[in-house]
Amino acid sequence: MQQMTEAQTQRWMTGSEALLQGLLDEGVDTVFGYPGGSALYIYDAMTQNKEFKHILTRHEQGAVHAADGYARSTGKVGVCIATSGPGATNLVTGIATAHMDSIPMVIITANVPTYMIGTDAFQEADIISITMPITKHSYSVRDAADIPRILHEAFYLANTGRKGPVLIDIPKDISNAKLLYEPYTAEVKFRGYEPDPEIDAERIGEWLLAISEAKRPVVIAGGGIVHANASDELIRFIDQTQIPVVATLHGLSGFPSGHPLALGMAGHHGNYAANMAIQQADLIISLGSRFDDRLTMKVSGFAPQARRIVHIDIDPAEIDKIVKADISIVGDLKGILAYASAIAAPSPATGWMEQLREYKLQHPLRYNDSDTELKPQYVLEMLHQTSNGDAIISTDVGQHQMWTAQFYKFNQPRSLLTSGGLGTMGFGFPAAVGAQIGNPDRLVISINGDGGMQMCAQEMAICAVQQIPVKIVVLNNRVLGMVRQQQELMYENRLSQIDLAGSPDFVLLAEAYGLKGLRASNKAEANAAWKEALETPGPVLVEFVIPMDENVYPMVLGGTALDEMILGDFE
């Protein structure tokens, strides 16, 4: 292929045309968005750029969550666009969701013309100030000639180091100004920003020495394993050292659920063996976990027998923030685990994994099955069995999210998409749409409660129009289930504002949008409906009617330690 001359790579275009071309130059294949007055030059440019693929969502929050799901499932940077004022502010919850979970995204907002900024113009909002605490970096474009550079820097920042959302705000007059465009390929460097520190061999040596001295070591696999694409390296390290692994919610897909050393999820709704492993371990090795409150619960009661705590993370700000580390290593988990695996010896601990397996046998995840009611745990087991654990699963937030974490077993990284940090209801379904577009050949299942589904149901329109074959699961218990459970157990059963009576008929709602809708309320109906859903080539919604009073167990109440689990009917 002949190298292009400078004259061939340079051409005059508007800021909007440069924006679209810059996104294509960064390898973007899909952008999610919603137009409006300040963004019209950008959307007008799309009519002349046939390479540019834009998905029109039905709400800006749908756009940002879809871009998030695309990013989580592919490892690429997700991109969304919105207009000024309410368009931009409708993105805020999704930006915060991505920020809390370290998701690489570039958010593009239009703004009123530069000469109107600060005048309280129609549809003006200072989106940079509004989002400053929830973005990794922000740009306010004041010269169209800067657009190629800013785009290139934004993608670099979003997808390096601790990943996160970067916002680019473009005033309307800048989006129509002329510039001489050429692709920006210069190496990006920022003073003080070192996203990939050198491997600290000395610290790794201290860590491996601690393993050799431990009798009860445990690894906590966090979401950083997934973000660093380090799942294979973690498997090799665990096979080499034979240390048992517990996972955070975001770390679940980073280590295969079927691995003989996998103990499952720990924390607030973690299983018995995983929580006891942390509480009885003499060595805690945290890999890409930030020790958030849903993992640690009562911090003063966390890992009381641990003689040493090792914390490895890409972000130095997380070290010692919540749990004091005896050995800390800052760096890329993929490189650190590869280096450690090459020199690590098997753990000398004997009898430790056997003890933990005994805990799994004594206190497995279980539930009171029924032949008359459809239990949500049964539905999750059915989803797992029919997909062999190979589907991409997106959840909303609530009881169904925890049942998914407990009863669906994940084989591959980037196969669990869930809002863990912010806990955003309405996230699950749009995220699944983004994941399906990013992974057209994968089965994508969106698991929702009847509450969260009503916060995002309008995005069924794009599934129908574009035949995006997401399989939508609604676990309908007719209440805000997690709120009801906490009110029952922590507020003396004083139930307040949880009744979702008046919710739509989800089957009819799906059909109104042009999707197939199915319903099941017992096992036979569930199996038949789900079989039909899988055999249907396009998008399908299946409503599973489940008991109103079903609780998620185990559960660790706020203010108590991980070994003070409530096991429900199986105490």
d(CA 92, CA 89) in angstroms, rounded, equals 5
**Among 411, 413, 416, which Cα is nearest to 258's?**
411
Contact 409, 258 (CB under 8 A): yes
The angle subtended at Cα 108 by Cα 107 and Cα 112, nearest 5°, is: 140
d(CA 128, CA 95) in angstroms, rounded, equals 12
Other Cβ atoms less than 10 A from the Cβ of 339: the count is 17
Residue with tokens 């999750």: 380
Catalytic residue from among 8, 122, 305, 531: 122
Q: Is 74 left (phi over 0), alpha (psi -120 to 50) or beta?
A: alpha
Neighbour order of strands in the sheet with 165-171: 54-56, 31-34, 78-82, 105-111, 165-171, 137-140
d(CA 543, CA 22) in angstroms, rounded, equals 42
**Among 257, 276, 292, which Cα is nearest to 554's?**
276
Is 60 among the residues known to form the active site? yes
What is the torsion angle, in degrees rounded to the nearest 10, for the CA atoms of residue 235, residue 240, residue 241 and residue 242?
70
Q: Cβ contacts of residue 222 below 8 Å, gap of 6+?
A: 247, 248, 250, 251, 254, 286, 287, 288, 289, 290
Tell me the β-bridge partners of 108: 81, 168
Is 482 among the residues known to form the active site? yes
Catalytic residue from among 116, 123, 215, 321: 123
Catalytic residue from among 482, 485, 523, 550: 482
Task: Report which secondary-structure segment, H or E, holds 431.
Answer: helix 428-438
Catalytic residue from among 136, 172, 375, 523: 172
CA atoms within 13 A on the CB side of 245: 30
The two three-digit tokens of residue 481, written as one number: 């289930």
Q: 356 to each of 209, 253, 257, 308, how far by Cα in Å?
A: 23, 21, 15, 20
**Among 135, 193, 188, 129, which Cα is nearest to 165's?**
135
Catalytic residue from among 32, 46, 52, 60: 60
DSSP string over 105-118: EEEEEEES-GGGTT
d(CA 568, CA 554) in angstroms, rounded, equals 7
The two three-digit tokens of residue 339, written as one number: 């280096």
Catalytically active residues, by annotation: 60, 122-123, 172, 482
